[in-house]
Structure 1
Amino acid sequence: MKRIIDKIRSIPTGAKSAIVYTASSVFTRGLAIITVPIFTRLMTTEQIGVVNIYNSWYSLISAFATLSLTSGGFAVAMKDYSDKRDEYESSILTLTSIVAVAIALIYIIAPGFWQKVIGLSNSLIVLMLIGFLVAPARDFWLSRQRFEYKYKLAGFISIFTAFLASVISVFVVIYMSNHNIQSTATGRLFANYLIVYGVAGVIWFYIFLQGKTFYCKEYWKMSLAISVPLIGYNIAGQVLNVSDRMMISSMVNNSAVGIYGTLYTVSSLSLLVWQAINSSFVPYLFQNIDKDKHDIKKVSNLLLEAYAIISILMTFFAPEIVKILATKEYYDAIYIMPSIAAGVFFTSYANLYSNIAVYYKKTKYVMYPAIIAAGINLILNYIFIKMFGYMAAAYTTLFSYIVLAFLQAIWSKKVCIENDNDINSIYDNKKLFILAILTTLISLCAIPLYSNIYLRYLCIVIGLIVVLFMGRKIAQIKR
């Protein structure tokens, strides 16, 4: 025990911080998955659809409401204004608060119109507006804690908030279901977000009390110069992520949104793995990208190969996963999961290349592919959901993610040329391209196997053996 304690104490603070933040992120997302079987059995598909619509609209609008300040100039400012972090933090919180108030005023002018457009009740839109005001404070505070390697309090608050919000949401839904109260979606959302926004509201006041700076031209100018190009990227990315559910709601119904949204969440489970992989890979990439000798090709190939196998296995396990997490109402739509999982895989492919653009501070080259892919997704959804129903959205989204990935690769090549680097010296482009195509084809091959359990399980066993082999190879790479 003493040796174990000594080893824990000897771990660098940065490593401890990374472990805690990764663990809290996995725990938070894991709770969302664990509660799925409860909600799908207590709520109708239409009520689940309302929850999905709320989350989709919130994600889309918050991409603008936050001005992308946490993903843009925040880390740079923490370094440049190391002795004035409190003042900087409160100053940019004023910016996001002004945007939130402006969005609220736009809603107040014509509430009926916006309720019809968004497809939510007045109470849920007001809840959303509260989130736009206070949630950025929590994001800023957590980003600063992470930058300063202060992981204990941040980890505790993240885990405790997620746990409390999930538990109360479950109890509220159970109570409303037992008493035949129909608005369980509204009850679930209020129970969850009043906890989340309540904690964010406390942090909102704390930041202003600490910083006491409501406006600073220097801080605003620097932050917006870096973050503004990312606003377009984040909005386009959210359109690509959630427009399918919004369009299904308006063109079909909320019940279809509930089924599609739930299966989309299940199909995206592997993203937890990729986010952990990418967060570990990015520091290595940034430290070695301009060196003459490095192993970026070898590392990136192995990491993407391992993730490809995990994505494929998820599609082959889809029937079992859906039976655990959902009810019979969702089974008929199981055939959309392979295309969604393949689309999610292409986000990892795009991430590899967007990392290069971010390193060279050419964030506009991350924005362009996202905007084009989002536009294509909207057009294809409008055409094919009308023709073939809501399941068509899974395939239009897959195509849009393919476009995003390959456009990102093209623009990253341009970035490398502009900075006297060669993208072929960083990534094995041919191998990555072949891997992406094979992953898509193999994932889609799972569809006919859903009716043949023996052949499907044989493929799963082979895949697990390959995963173990890949794991051993990855373990041999130096950290």
Structure 2
Amino acid sequence: MDNSTKKKSSGVVLKAGIWYTVSNFVFRGMAFITTPVFTRLLTKGEYGDFSNFASWMSILVIITSCDLQTSIIRSKLEFEDDIDSYIFSMLGLTTLITAFFYVVFLVFDDFIFNSILAIDKKYIHIMFFYLFCAPAYSMFVTKHRAFYKYRVFSIMTGISIALSLGTSLILVVMMNDKLMGRIIGQYIPAAILSLILYIFLAIKGKRIQIKYWKYALVICIPLVPHLLSMNILSSSDRILIRRISGAEYAALFSIAHSCANIVSILLDSMNKAWAPWFLDTLHSKDYSNVKPVTKPYFLLFVSIAGGIFLLGPEVILILGGKAYLDAIFILPPLIMGCVVQFVYTMYVQVEFYEKKTIGVAIGTISSAAINIVLNLIFIHAFGYRAAAYVTLIGYICLLFYHYNYVKRLGYKDIFDRKLLFGTLLILFLAMFGIMILYNYTILRYIITLVYGTVILFLIFKQKGIILSILRK
């Protein structure tokens, strides 16, 4: 690949990344803006119960969809001319799987909702209406992301989030049962939007082909335990805290988790831009172009994460208020976990390209098992704060697993290892210093100002290169 083509591909990734990141921050920023409202309208118990419901919903979405939308980006490399039929085939399969689980939940509703989920069974129909429809939205935006149609992705993200948050606020204010209002407002508007997209994709796809089911299931079935285990890594702590320490402590942890989600949204935004380009680059065997693009990609993420580290107390205060300030010291390990996750996700993309998803699943399942065992031990012994450090340990284990697995696949030098691991070590050590700084507000503000000035100076220094890429 010549230099002009390399610059063009870098420009595509950067341009898409800017759209994904800005739109996600603008639209999902609505969630952060409204979080302080919900923490004040709902009791700590209600906020903790909604967090429990949302955690279980995210698990059920993975089970009933089998994460089939993930295969769309990979399938583009082989079935680009018939991609609409492929997507409709995936949608039909998720509908069959969801219908099966709906019947199971209806038959065993008391046992499942009371003994396992700790959720009132009156929410079952809301839950499954969303589960039936939600895959259509995921597949629609994934298709457009795969083809770098980032404007469509951004618009749909904005509509979905605005509908859910707006309806939630209205219903929580108007309804006596505020937990019911929060759940209906969050999930029903998104389900209705997804239902419209379901019909659109069905018309466009026209036919369901069983051969595509076989192709996708080979890739995605191993990803289901992987994603479930990832979900366990990110949400089991809240579920276990609620059971061991109570809903109020689950609410404290949820606020810190919501603050760390700023970094998670950044991770998700940038990965959505980078992953399609990276798979295309591997497919064309243009390995020499990987490091020049991934270096600024990684450093940009770390720079923003570092700033959020420093402003942790202010973020907690804004989102939760003084009642949630006890959560400030669990925010740094949660953010550090997001940074580690960002790095190992880069290695996971290599495994995904090579269709080695069974290896992905093995690593995540093992890490999740370690996470649950350690949470049960340390939450009992040290309280809810221990869960944040347990999650970080789980992510570190995953990073070393995926690094070694990709090395065995022959991609030892695909990324700049010294840059990735050296930066992680520096940030890990800085995390403890920043936690000490939380007790010295003025000094922390000075360091934050210096840090921000240095980052802006570096951006200004490289402005010529940045503008050159943006013009392309």
TM-score scaled by structure 1? 0.86
Amino acid at match of 1:27: V
1:365 is aligned to 359
Q: Is the 8 A contact 1:67 1:96 kept in 2?
A: yes
1:257 paired residue among 241, 246, 250: 250
What SS does the corresponding residue of 1:446 show, helix, strand or coil? Answer: helix
User: Would the aligned equivalents of 2:291 and 2:415 in 1 still touch at CA under 8 Å?
Assistant: yes
Q: Establish whether residue 190 from structure 1 lines up as the match of residue 184 from structure 2.
A: yes
Which residue among 93, 102, 108 is the counterpart of 1:95? 93
CA distance in 2, matches of 1:267, 1:26: 13
1:474 Cα offset (Å): 5.9
Match of residue 232 from structure 1: 225
**Residue in 1 that maps onto 2:42:** 43
User: How far is the alpha carbon of 1:153 from its aligned partner?
Assistant: 5.9
Q: Which amino acid aligns with 2:343?
A: Y
Gaps of 5+ in 1: 1-11
Q: Deviations along 1:143-195, whole A, 9 cap, x unmatched? A: 3344456666664443223212211211222224xxxx2x3122111022111
2:118 is matched with 119
Q: Which residue of 2 aligns with 1:203?
A: 197
In structure 2, the CA distance between the partners of 1:85 and 1:407, relative to structure 1 (3 Å rule), is: closer
1:462-477 equivalent positions in 2, closer than 5 A: 462-472=450-460, 475=463, 476=465
Q: Secondary structure at the match of 1:172?
A: helix
CA contact (8 A) 2:13 2:274 kept: no
Find the aligned partners of 2:287 and 2:236 in 1 and give their Cα distance. Answer: 43
Q: Distance in 1 between matches of 2:346 and 2:82?
A: 34
Deviation at 1:300, TM superposition (A): 3.5
Q: CA RMSD in A?
A: 2.8
TM-aligned CA distance change 1:379 to 1:58, over 3 Å: same
- Return the letter of the residue paired with 1:199: L
Query: What CA distance in whole angstroms lies between the structure 2 residues aligned with 1:369 and 1:204?
Result: 34
> Residues 465 and 149 from structure 1, CA distance in 2 versus in 1: closer, same or farther, beyond 3 angstroms?
closer
Following the alignment from structure 1 to structure 2, what is the Cα–Cα distance between the partners of residues 156 and 301?
A: 29
Change (3 A) 1:470 1:284: farther
Within 1, Cα distance between the matches of 2:236 and 2:380? 15
Cα contact 1:59–1:238 (8 A) shared by 2: yes
Matched AA of 1:437: L
**Any idea what SS the aligned residue of 1:57 has?**
helix
* Alignment-derived partner of residue 433 in structure 2: 445
Describe how 1:29-178 pairs up with structure 2 within 5 A: 29-72=28-71, 74-78=72-76, 80-116=78-114, 117-147=116-146, 155-176=154-175
Q: CA deviation at 1:385?
A: 0.8
What's the TM-score, normalizing by structure 2? 0.87
Q: Counterpart in 1 of 2:3?
A: none
> How far apart are residue 401 of structure 1 and its match?
1.0
Matched AA of 2:434: A
Deviations 1:236-273 (A, max 9, x none): 21111111111112222222111111111102312333
Decide which moves more: 147-156 or 21-30. Answer: 147-156
Q: Please name the residue that 1:435 is paired with.
A: 423
Query: In structure 1, what is the Cα distance between the partners aligned to 2:353 and 2:205?
Result: 30
The verdict on how the C-alpha distance between 1:388 and 1:237 changes in structure 2, with shifts beyond 3 A counting, is same
CA contact (8 A) 2:252 2:326 kept: no
Which AA in structure 1 matches 2:65? Answer: T
Q: Deviations over 1:99-155 (max 9, x none)?
A: 111111111122111112111111223311222111112222223344456666664
Structure having the larger proportion of residues in helix: 2
Moved more, 89-98 or 463-472: 463-472
Q: Which residue in 1 is equivalent to 2:311?
A: 317
Q: Deviations over 1:413-457 (max 9, x none)?
A: 1112xxxx5x23x32323422221221121122222212112212
The one-letter code sitting in structure 1 at the alignment partner of 2:190 is V
Correspondence 1:288-307 to 2 at 5 A? 294=288, 296-297=290-291, 299-307=293-301
Change (3 A) 1:305 1:153: closer
Q: d(CA) in 2 for partners of 1:46 and 1:280?
A: 38
Structure 2: tracts of 5 or more residues without a match: 1-10
SS of residue matched to 2:207: coil
In structure 2, give the amino acid aligned to 1:71.
T
Q: Secondary structure at the match of 1:120?
A: coil
SS in 2 for 1:213: coil
Structure 1 letter corresponding to 2:123: L
Contact 2:168 2:182 in 1 (8 A): yes
Q: Percent identity?
A: 27
How far apart are residue 75 of structure 1 and its match? Answer: 3.2
Among 346, 360, 378, which residue is 2:372 paired with?
A: 378
Cα distance change of structure 1 residues 153 and 238 upon mapping to structure 2, 3 Å threshold: same
Residues 397 and 170 from structure 1, CA distance in 2 versus in 1: closer, same or farther, beyond 3 angstroms? same
Cα offset for 1:378? 0.8
1:393, distance to aligned residue in structure 2 (A): 0.5
Structure 2 CA distance for aligned equivalents of residues 292 and 352 of structure 1: 16
Q: CA deviation at 1:354?
A: 1.7
